[in-house]
Amino acid sequence: MLYKTLQNGDKIPVIGQGTWGMGGGLKPDYSQDKVALEAIRSAIELGYTHIDTAEMYGGGHAEELVGKVIRSFKREDLIITSKVWEVTFDYKLTIEALEGSLKRLGTDYLDLYLIHRPNKGIPLDATFRALNDLVDQGKVKHLGVSNFNLEQLKQAQALADTPLATNQVPYHLHRRAYVVNGVLAYCQENNILLTAYSPIGRGNLIDDPTVKQIAENYQATPAQIALYWLIRQPNVIALPMSTNKDHLRENLGALQLELPEEDVEKLDFIELPEEVLFPE
Taking only the tens place, the pLDDT of each residue in 104-122 is 999 999 999 999 999 989 9
Q: How far apart are CA 179 and CA 104, in angstroms?
A: 35
- Domain extents in the chain: 3-277
Which positions ≥6 away from 223 have C-beta within 8 Å?
200, 205, 206, 240, 247, 250, 251, 254
Burial class (CB in 10 A: 0-12, 13-18, 19+), 158: exposed
How many other C-beta atoms lie within 10 A of the C-beta of residue 213? 13
Taking only the tens place, the pLDDT of each residue in 34-44 is 999 999 999 99
Instruction: For domain 3-277, give the fold.
Output: TIM Barrel (3.20.20)
Give me the catalytic one of 57, 178, 186, 197. 57
Residue 194: name the closest of 182, 206, 202, 208 by CA: 182
Taking only the tens place, the pLDDT of each residue in 52-94 is 999 999 999 999 999 999 999 999 999 999 999 999 999 999 9
3 carries an active-site annotation: no
Given this model, what pLDDT does residue 154 score?
98
Given this model, what pLDDT does residue 274 score?
58
Given this model, what pLDDT does residue 203 score?
77
How many other C-beta atoms lie within 10 A of the C-beta of residue 140? 24
Residues of the chain with pLDDT under 50: 275, 277-280
Residue 82 DSSP code: E
